[in-house]
Structure 1
Amino acid sequence: VTYQINDTFAVSVGADNVFDETPDELGDDEVLNFISNGGFKYPLRAVPSGFDGRTYYAKLSFSF
């Protein structure tokens, strides 16, 4: 959501991954987990949903 304060300033607030969904973790028998020696917790296809769960942000912007 963005609110234009005046011609110069605007403030925005929002959230990503509002429902706090995280991907399924790799099993011990999956290839990527085996290759990385346990270094990867989530599959590569999980990148669009993120690994951190829900995040919030606020932004102040200006233009002249």
Structure 2
Amino acid sequence: MTFDFPAPLLALESRAWEEIQAGRLTVATAHAVHQGVAEYAEASGVARYDVEMGLKQAVRHSEAAEG
């Protein structure tokens, strides 16, 4: 499944991924990502789990390709 995620949601997930890698993920960041995923899922009619997995893949896969 392919998604067209808005830039703010991609930025939130990127920030969360950076925080996870640094061992300092905050509740505020995690909550913001969760909220963004839930809103996107509801608006697009796609399961939240599928949106979350697609978002993680979009952010983490693009980072792996760059590195």
Scaled to the shorter chain, the TM-score interval is under 0.3
- Compute the TM-score of the two structures, normalised by the length of structure 1: 0.22
Q: Could you state the TM-score of these two structures normalised by the residue count of structure 2? A: 0.21
Structure 1 or 2: more strand by fraction: 1
- Structure number having the greater helix percentage: 2
Determine which structure has more spread, i.e. the larger CA radius of gyration: 1
Instruction: Name which structure has the greater RCO, CA cutoff 8 Å, separation 6+.
Output: 1
